[in-house]
Structure 1
Amino acid sequence: MAVVAMWKCDRDDSMFDNKKDADAYDKMLELAESFTQFLEKHAEGISEKDAETIGLLLAHNKEQVITACKGKPEVLLSLGEGEGESNITELSAAS
């Protein structure tokens, strides 16, 4: 019997077969948590669940958000149309 090394994320029990992917996912979750805290602090009336969903969406699509902040806001309109990009519905179902 072979032994297979796996990395488990303690935040949501996601499993990874390599450390690089596990570390990248953990960093994304840390960024999402910071976005969530920012939204809860500064967006009056937003629910904790909504803040978490938006935080995850922003963190998961950080490259497109960065590009939009650098003067190309149209990239945000294409989110969810390509592979590897998540929309709010998918992220809400995952949490």
Structure 2
Amino acid sequence: MAVVAVWKCDRDGKMFDDKKAAEAHDKMLELAANITQLIENSVEGISEAHSEAIGLLLAERSDQLAKACKGKPEVLLEGTEDQSANVTPLASNQ
């Protein structure tokens, strides 16, 4: 019988075959939790579910956010063309 090492993330219970991948996932979830807390502290009336969804989205795309902050904002929209039908432009809300 073979022994297979797996790593389990304490935050969400997800299992990984690779320790490095498990640690990266845990780090991303920690970032998401901190972003969520920042949003909840900064935006009055936002629901917990919405702030968690936003926190997770921003943490998952942290590399793209870093590039956008360094002068390439277009990278935030890469891969979102199919989702653009669900987004209401900001100008129409004014």
TM range (shorter): 0.7 to 0.9
1:32 and 2:32 equivalent? Answer: yes
RMSD: 1.1
Please give the TM-score of this superposition, normalised by the length of structure 2: 0.81
Q: Which structure has more RCO (C-alpha within 8 Å, separation ≥ 6)?
A: 1
Determine which structure has more spread, i.e. the larger CA radius of gyration.
2
In the alignment of these two chains, the number of paired residues is: 81
Seq. identity, %: 64
Q: Does residue 19 in structure 1 map to residue 19 in structure 2?
A: yes
**Structure 1 residues not aligned, in runs of 5+:** 82-95
Where 1:46 maps in the other structure, the secondary structure is coil
Unmatched segments (≥5 aa) in structure 2 = 82-94
Deviation at 1:40, TM superposition (A): 0.2
**Deviating 4+ runs (over 3 angstroms):** none
Shift of 1:45: 1.6
